[in-house]
Structure 1
Amino acid sequence: MESRLRVQGHPIQPMLVTVPFGLFVCATVFDLTDLLGGPGILGEVGYWTVVAALVSAALAVAAGMVDLWDVPADRTRRTVVMFNLANAVMAVLFVFVCLARAGGPDRGASGGLLAVELLGLAIGAVGVRLGAVLVQRFDRHPGEAPTFDALGSAAGVGVEGPAHPTRS
C-alpha cells in the first residue's frame, strides 16, 4: 500500500492521527482534574482542547479518505477501514461531549461526559494499535534499518562517529 499523501517518504495520515488523540487525552485529564476539585479554568481549557482536537481530527479523517482509495480490497483494506472507523467513532463521541458542554457557563464536564470521553479514548486506543500495525506492515523502505542507527546516519552521524570530523 502506497499512500498518496507523504512527507519525506512517510505517510502523513498516521502522523496526523496522533495529534487529535493526544489532545483528547489532554482534554480528559483537564476534565478529570476539574471534576476532582482543581481550578475551575480547567473545565474551560478541557473544552477548548476538545475543539482543537476535533479540528485536527477532521484533517486526519480527510487524509485517511484519500489514502483509502489506494488500498487493495483484501485483509489490509479491512484493517485500514477499521483504523479509520475507530478514529471516526472516537471523534464523534468527542463531538457529542463538545456539543453538550457548549451551552454551559464554564463549559466544564460532568461525570457522565467524562465517562463518554474515557470510552472515546478506549476506542481511539484501538485505532492507534491498528495504525501501528499498518505502519509496521507498510512503511518499510528498502535499505532502511529499523533501528536508531538509521536516525544517526540521517543526521550525518554514523556508528563510527561524525561523518565530517572536526579539524584540530
Structure 2
Amino acid sequence: MSLENPKTTAKIAGHPIHPMLIPFPIAFFVGAFAADVAYWQTGNAFFASGAAWLIGAGLVMAALAALAGLADFLGSRAIRALRPAWLHLVGNVTAVLLELWNLILRLGDPAAAVVPMGLGLSLVVTLLLLFNGWMGWEMVYRGRVGVADR
C-alpha cells in the first residue's frame, strides 16, 4: 500500500483544477431547478427563460469541470481504483446528459417545457448532484485524492 495520496493530473501550482470548477455547474443546475419551481408557482415566463440560460451555462461549466476531472481519473491508477471515483464519474455523466435533454426540450418554448418534464429533470439532476458530491468528497476525505502529502 502506497503512503502517498493519489495525485491529481490537472492542477495549477499544486491545486487541483476540478474542485475549483465544480461549484459553477452545481450552482447553475440547482439555480435552474429553483427557477423552474418559481415558474411553476408564478407562471412568469422570466423564470422559464432564466432556467434555460442557467442550464446552458451549467453545461458549459460542466464540460470544463469534466475535462479536469477526466484528466485526473485517466491520469491516476490510484484514483481509478476507488469505487467512489467510478460512481462520481457515472453520476456526473448522467446528470450532464439529463441536463442536455432538459435544454433541448426548452429550445423552442422554454415555458412550455417546464411543467412537468423540465421541472422533473431539474429535480432529478439536483438530487443526483447531492449523490455525486457525496462521492466526490468520499474521494477527498477517505481516499485523500488531491490532498497534499506531508
Counterparts of 1:19-168 in structure 2, within 5 Å, are 19-37=24-42, 39-72=44-77, 76-104=81-109, 106=111, 109-136=114-141, 137-142=144-149
Q: Choose 1 or 2 for highest CA Rg.
A: 1
Q: Distance in 1 between matches of 2:109 and 2:51?
A: 13
- What letter is aligned with 1:139? G
What corresponds to 2:10 in structure 1? 5
Identity of aligned residues (%): 26
Instruction: Provide the aligned C-alpha RMSD in A.
Output: 2.1
Ranked by relative contact order (alpha carbons within 8 Å, sequence separation 6 or more), the top structure is: 2
* SS of residue matched to 1:52: helix
Structure 1: 4+ residue segments shifted above 6 A: none
Unaligned runs of 5+ in 1: 144-168
Distance 1:79 1:105, change over 3 A: closer
More helix by share: 2
Q: Secondary structure at the match of 2:66?
A: helix
Residues 1:93 and 1:80: Cα distance change in structure 2 (over 3 Å): same
TM-score for the superposition, normalised by structure 1: 0.76
The farther-off stretch of 19-28 and 30-39 is 30-39
